[in-house]
Structure 1
């Protein structure tokens, strides 16, 4: 005789906690993934088939539906960018996302070690994550790892692929570390890169670029106006009325 296990109805996002109320160790744990989100929002502004979560619980275990894993950042493809609910997603609930796991997870290691190289790695394997990025700018020597590592799921384990910039074909984007300015803070950040290896600018840098372009356009307009005035003056010196043309 065959027996089947009948699970109780799975809870909805509204019935699940949207936070574990655990504070982050430092602001970089929020700033770094938020920068990745801000850049992606500009690069993929016309696309509606992706979602990037920051410090958001992921519920993925039908047998333990109220037990989340909470990455610093994660990216899912093939899901709605904006859920049609009043306040957007409260959390990322796999059974409400057509069982679509994140393709990429980002963790920033801080002073309090959070199991990024072991416990969380196993959880992300169970979740079905394909790429796992660990950024450890301050404590990589303590943890005997590089400051930036990208792991790819191969069969049932994560295999280290790169300790520098890494191209992700499914995204047609690279990810890596570079110097930039974000929120007025110049330091190394995680960035998305194009296929030529050029990184996409931060919001601060886009504003600066726009201001520079506006200044250049204003200078060109002033130069054109001055050139026109010089021409009018030369015509007048020759006894020609420029307004007669």
Structure 2
């Protein structure tokens, strides 16, 4: 990992402001239900080296997630890139955010290079065999999901497009779902791609969890204040009833202390 380049001179970076924000939201909510967080890694716009025999070949997904590997490289360092033959585990999920310049590559509509370099689709499908592949077209407000065909032979694995219902897709192998959420993230309200859990609720970001905790604490304080107010009102009402009863006794010539 330390020897292979993390970027090429002149290589284009992220095409717009949406890409890093969307990828970061995916990273913050990528919490597979069947893996410890310390055994989950995800990244955006990071080189994925996939061929030990051609070490200069790589693909650079907009975002990808891996399970079953340490969150940190060798449990001690941030990764410069993801070297599959060194890590021993291929990505579990890749997300590409469609743009005019990359749409053909993302959807497998281009031919391979004359030097034999495989296309992005071929790498994900046949070499890395990424179980789940998502392409999100934010201009159309929809995403497409592809899953490696169950029972596909080792020689010819292929992607099959899944039926996305109500803009949600449950990823059984990760105990996690991906879907479209209309909401505000980083002060931008739009349709975002994010993950949800087995309950069907969107997995909160750390900021959302802090806000929820703060709102819960404020709600508890308000409930305690109301309880104390109701207790005070009940005590005053009881005292008023007792005073009325005392006066009634006295008006009828009865000493309240004798009752």
TM-score range, shorter chain: 0.7 to 0.9
User: Hey, what's the Cα distance between the residues in 2 that align with 1:130 and 1:54?
Assistant: 18
Post-superposition shift, 1:14?
0.8
2:46 match: 56
Question: For the Cα contact (< 8 Å) 2:20–2:44, is it kept in 1?
Answer: yes
Match of 1:171 in 2: 174
The count of corresponding residues between Structure 1 and Structure 2 is 220
TM-score (norm 2): 0.75
Q: Is the 8 A contact 1:182 1:202 kept in 2?
A: no
Q: CA deviation at 1:147?
A: 3.0
Tell me the TM-score normalized by structure 1. Answer: 0.79
CA RMSD, aligned part only?
Answer: 2.6
1:89-110 CA distances to partner (integer Å, 9 max, x unpaired)?
1111112212x11111100012
> Quick check: 79-88 or 13-22, which moved more?
79-88
Q: Deviations over 1:121-141 (max 9, x none)?
A: 112122221111000111x5x
Larger mean Cα displacement after TM superposition, 127-136 or 221-230: 221-230
1:62-141 matches, within 5 Å, as 62-84=52-74, 87-98=77-88, 100-114=89-103, 115-118=105-108, 119-125=119-125, 126-138=127-139
Instruction: Show structure 2 runs of 5+ residues with no match.
Output: 109-118, 244-259
Structure 1 counterpart of 2:255: none
Aligned CA distance change for structure 1 residues 130 and 74 (closer, same or farther; 3 Å): same
Counterpart CA distance in 2 for 1:177 and 1:232 is 52
Match of 1:162 in 2: 163
Distance across 2 between alignment mates of 1:95 and 1:80:
15
TM superposition shift of 1:26: 1.1
Ranges in structure 1 where 5+ consecutive residues have no aligned partner? 1-12, 141-145, 240-245
CA shift at 1:85, angstroms?
6.0
Residue 22 of structure 1: how far off its partner (Å): 2.2
1:192-213 CA deviation, whole Å, 9 max, x = no partner?
1233433323445434433321
CA contact (8 A) 1:131 1:150 kept: yes
Residue 130 to residue 41, structure 1, CA distance change in 2 (3 Å): closer
Give 1:73 deviation, angstroms: 0.9
Is the CA contact 2:31–2:176 (under 8 Å) kept in the aligned structure 1? no
In the other structure, the counterpart of 1:4 is: none
| C-alpha distance in structure 2 between counterparts of 1:27 and 1:44, whole Å | 32
Deviation at 1:62, TM superposition (A): 1.2
Q: Which residue number in structure 2 is paired with residue 221 of structure 1? A: 224
Tell me the residue number matched to 1:24: 14
* Map of 2:148 onto structure 1: 153
Equivalents in 2 of 1:166, 1:181: separation in Å? 21
The alignment partner of 2:130 has SS state of: coil
